[in-house]
Amino acid sequence: MKSILSMGNPMFDKRLIGKKYPPVIFPVDAGRIRFFAKATGQTDPIYFDEKKAQQRGHPALLAPPTFLTVVGMAQDDPFPHVADLNVPLSKLLYASQRYCYHAPVYAGDTISLVSEINDMFDKKDGALQFCVIKQSCTNQDERLVAELYGTLVLPS
């Protein structure tokens, strides 16, 4: 039996689980890596200096661990799934974020990111609804570089 607390918002439509969105194509350029690294207080030269990156065995500047967040943001609407959830973006909170790394990302790569509604569940008898968005990132060689899981929560 749903508690009275869950009466505030309609439940997410679980038929959306598995829905995929059109890919976001993002060329990774050295300038953006440098900007991101500098803005987040990185100092290691592998994120700034191509010669030093190559001395350390990298083909080009290395994108830092959370750089792929930039790819998801690089579209007119970074949250296409929110329209389907039928909830204003301002009501959703960011609950968690996870990166699963399979291969490095370098300046010069082109990343293709596909978002998918991965899961929906609720806690506290429906008072908290969660939606997990999986973002699969592949590079120009069609190699899977990372899988990102972002969980949104709708409190009632």
Task: Single out the segment in contact with another protein by CB under 8 A; choices: 6-14, 38-46, 113-121, 133-141.
Answer: 38-46
Spatial contact of 62 and 37, defined as CB atoms under 8 Å apart: no
Is 110 a residue that touches another protein (CB under 8 A)?
Answer: no
Looking up tokens 């918002």 gives 9
**How is residue 148 written in tokens?**
């990102």
Choose among 44, 9, 1: nearest CA to 128: 9
Q: What are phi and psi of 81, to 5 degrees?
A: -75, -20
Among 6, 9, 69, 156, binds another protein (CB under 8 A): 69
Is 8 a residue that touches another protein (CB under 8 A)?
Answer: no
End-to-end CA distance of the chain: 16
Task: Single out the segment in contact with another protein by CB under 8 A; choices: 88-96, 108-116, 119-127, 135-143.
Answer: 88-96
Among 11, 73, 83, 144, binds another protein (CB under 8 A): 73
Alpha-carbon dihedral 104, 107, 112, 117, rounded to 10 degrees: 60
Among 18, 27, 59, 65, binds another protein (CB under 8 A): 65
Is 41 a residue that touches another protein (CB under 8 A)?
Answer: yes
Task: Single out the segment in contact with another protein by CB under 8 A; choices: 60-68, 109-117, 121-129, 130-138.
Answer: 60-68
Q: Tell whether the torsion through CA atoms of 57, 60, 61 and 63 is positive or negative.
A: negative
Is 38 a residue that touches another protein (CB under 8 A)?
Answer: yes
Our measurement of the distance from residue 16's CA atom to the centroid of its chain's CA atoms, rounded to an integer in Å, reads 18
- Contacts with another protein by CB under 8 A lie at 32, 35-36, 38-42, 44, 46, 62, 64-66, 69-70, 73-74, 78, 90, 93-101, 104, 149
